[in-house]
Amino acid sequence: MKLIIAELGYLLVKGKLIKNRYSLRERFAGFLWIYFLTIFLGITGVGLSFGFFNLIKMERPVNLLGHLPENQKLIYQFVVICLIAPFVEEMLFRVCLRYSKLNFAVTAGFCFYIFPGILIKGRGIFGEDNPLSLRIGLVLIFIAIVYSILQSNPAIDDRLTKFWSLHFKLIFYLSVISFGFLHVTNFENSLTVFLLAPILTLPQIAGGFMFGYIRLKYGILYAVLLHAANNFMPFAIHAMLG
């Protein structure tokens, strides 16, 4: 635990982390400690957010994820919140923390999934009402195009490699902050929500920092697993309380 705290402090100040080799047992033990610390930071972030609104005597905006439509089946909510969202968001925000042509292409592809992709309406590739399969298909095509461009243009790849090396601290904190601010969409659109986004998304910003840490320490798979486990906690509480 002392090593994890020291590494987190180093990452916070220096914006980088030295990657070492760990046994499966060390990874499992480290993952558990990091998970408990992530939960603690998330709860602390929620507490600080509520405390801020109590201090200024203002009602905190309602998180829409806490009021999901009753007609959505629990299994559907589980798949979206605990499986799809962690995977998509880690591909978007964390996979590129270790630069490679493929990692960059994957991030670019999932940027398409999140942003222009939301404008895609209608049916999917297989005729289903939801266009999810169409969006995924277009993302895969986009990833292949970006990867091919980098593969056939070594000069561009070299420039990106140097940029990542020189500006990694900036890239890391952009991933943390942008991940947190993306979750402002969990609240109703209003000027107040926009202005207070840093306070409302404190738990997600803290989570983004921890997901970035474990991604750099153990790899992207562990970041997805930590994200999924972190999302499962509030989902389980919400499901039990009805």
Please report how many Cα atoms fall inside a 13 Å half-sphere around the Cα of residue 229, on the Cβ side. Answer: 17
Per-residue pLDDT, 105: 96
Could you please report the per-residue DSSP string of 224-241?
HHHHHHHHHHHHHHHHHH
Scan for tokens 């895609």, then name that residue: 120
- Phi first, then psi, for residue 63 (nearest 5°) are -80, 115
**Cβ neighbour number for residue 68 with a 10 Å cutoff:** 15
- Give me Rg for the CA atoms of the chain: 19
Confirm if 213 and 8 have CB atoms less than 8 A apart. yes
Could you please report the per-residue DSSP string of 140-172?
HHHHHHHHHHHHH-HHHHHHHHHHHHHSHHHHH
Alpha-carbon span 2 to 33, nearest angstrom? 10
Domain boundaries, the chain: 2-12+19-59+73-241
Confirm if 220 and 95 have CB atoms less than 8 A apart. yes
Confirm if 108 and 147 have CB atoms less than 8 A apart. no
Confirm if 178 and 201 have CB atoms less than 8 A apart. no
Tokens of 91: 């591909």
Q: What is the pLDDT along the chain (242 residues), one digit of tens a residue?
A: 888 899 999 999 988 887 788 888 999 999 999 999 999 999 999 999 999 988 888 888 877 665 555 556 788 888 888 998 999 999 999 999 999 999 999 999 998 777 766 666 766 666 666 667 777 888 899 999 999 999 999 999 999 999 999 999 999 999 999 999 989 888 888 888 888 889 999 999 999 999 999 999 999 999 999 999 999 988 888 777 76
Please report how many Cα atoms fall inside a 13 Å half-sphere around the Cα of residue 238, on the Cβ side. Answer: 18
Nearest to 140 by CA among 95, 105, 98: 105
**Global model pTM greater than 0.85:** yes
